[in-house]
Amino acid sequence: MLGTSARLLRLLTLFQSRPIWAGPELTQRLEVTARTLRRDVDRLRSLGYPVHSTSGPAGGYQLGAGAALPPLMLDNHEALAVAVALHQTAGADGSGVAEAGQRALAKLDQVLPGRVRKRLGALRAALVRVPTPAAPSVELGVVDALAAACAEHRVVQFGYRDHQARITRRTVEPHRLVLVERRWYLAAWDRARLDWRTFRVDRVAAPVELGTGFVPRAAPEDDVAGYVMRSTSWRSHPHQARVLFHAPAAALRAKIPPAYGTITAVGARRCRLETGGSSLDGIAVWLAVTGFPFQVESPPALAQQVRVLGARLSRAGRAGSS
C-alpha cells in the first residue's frame, strides 16, 4: 500500500497518461477502495487540481485544465526520450526555438534521476553529429503568433523580406504552418494578391499583428504539405536547367531529393534532370558532387559555368600536387 502523498502523485501520473479513467480501474491500479479513491480525488481538488467526474457506463474521472499546473510525471523512458528530442533541437541552429530548447534541456538535466542522467550522458558521449547546413533562424514568438492565427482563423499582418532583402507589408489569411527539412513555411491566402502564397517564416518580421476573424477558404490542394513542397521546389528558383546524366535514373534519385529536381529515365543507363537554383554557380557545384558524368543541355550559360568550375578545380589539383 502506498502512503497518501505517494498515492496522490501516482494518481496524477495516471490522470496525465490518458483523458479519462473509470473508477474501478483506478482503485485496481492504486490498490485502494472506492472510498479511499474519492477521498484522494477530493484532496487533489483542495490542492487546486480540477478533477472532473461523471457517472454512468461511459463515466469516470478526468483531469481538466486549470490555474494550477500539476507536476509532470515521466517514467525513465519518457524522460530519456524528451531529453534526446531537446538535445537534437538545442543543436539545430541559433533560432529562438533552439535557445528555448537549450534552456528546457538545462532545467530537465537538473531533475533527471541519476540513472536516466547517466544513460543520457552515455548517449551524448557515443553520438557523433554529422555537420549539416544551419537551418534558417526563426523567432519563437513569430511561430507562436502564426500558429495561434491559424487555429483561431484570424487575419495577420507582418513585414515580409524577399530574396533580395526588400520588405513589403502583407495581409494574409493563414491556413497552416508546414515544416520542411527544418525550414518553416506558412501557407496563406494573400488578400492583396488574391491568391494562395507560401511564406518562409524566417523572412517574416516581428511583430505579427493579429486582426479580425475570417471564414476559412477551401485549401489550395488536398495535400497542403505537397502544395508547399511544390511551391518552394526548384521551379520557383530564378535559374532553370536541363542536364543529361550518363547514369541510371534510380542511381541519380538516390543522390537528389525530389524537391531539387525532376528525373526522367532516358533508356536504361541515362536520365535527364530538370532542376533550378538561386545561382548558376551553385547549380554547377552540386551537379559536380553527384559523382556521375553529365552534359548540360540548357542553358548555355550553365555549360560555361561548368567549364569555369572544371578549370578552377583542375588548377587547384595541379597546385596541390606540385
pLDDT at residue 84, as a whole number = 79
Q: Are residues 58 and 91 in the same domain?
A: no
How high is the pLDDT of residue 94? 47
Number of domains in the chain: 4
Q: Given this model, what pLDDT does residue 259 score?
A: 72
Interior angle at CA 182, CA 133 and CA 238, nearest 5 = 70
Specify whether 239 is located in the same domain as 202: no
* 176 neighbors 149 (Cβ within 8 angstroms): no
Give the burial class of 199: count Cβ atoms within 10 A of its Cβ; 0-12 exposed, 13-18 middle, 19 or more buried. buried
Please state whether the peptide bond connecting residue 248 to the residue before it is cis, i.e. omega within 30 degrees of 0: no
Mark which of 232, 251, 283 sits at the end of a domain: 232
What are the grid coordinates assigned to 306, written together? 561548368
Q: Are residues 39 and 103 in the same domain?
A: no
Tens digit of each residue's pLDDT (9 = 90 or more) over 156-167: 999 999 877 889
Q: Which residues sit opposite 60 in a β-bridge?
A: 54
**How much is the mean pLDDT over the chain?**
84
Q: Is residue 134 part of a domain?
A: no
- With cell 479513491, the residue in question is 37
For residue 289, being part of any structural domain is answered with: yes
Do residues 214 and 172 both lie within one domain?
Answer: yes
**Residue 228 shares a structural domain with residue 154:** yes
Q: What is the domain-level CATH number for residue 41?
A: 1.10.10.10
Residue stretches of the chain with pLDDT short of 70: 1-2, 66-73, 89-97, 130-135, 234, 236, 319-322
**Rounded CA separation 223/181 (Å):** 17
| 243 in the same domain as 226 | no
Distance of CA 13 to the CA centre of its chain: 28
Q: Determine the structural domain holding residue 40 and report its residue range.
A: 4-63
Residues 243 and 227 in one domain: no
Q: Is residue 132 part of a domain?
A: no
Residue 228 to residue 62: CA distance in whole angstroms: 39
Kindly state whether residue 135 falls inside one of the protein's structural domains. Answer: no
pLDDT for residue 313: 86
For residue 69, is it within any domain? no
Residue 185 covered by a domain: yes
**Burial class for 255, CB neighbours closer than 10 Å (0-12, 13-18, 19+):** middle
Distances (CA, A) of 3 to 7, 32, 62, 64, 164: 6, 11, 22, 25, 66
Cell numbers representing residue 30 in the block = 492504486
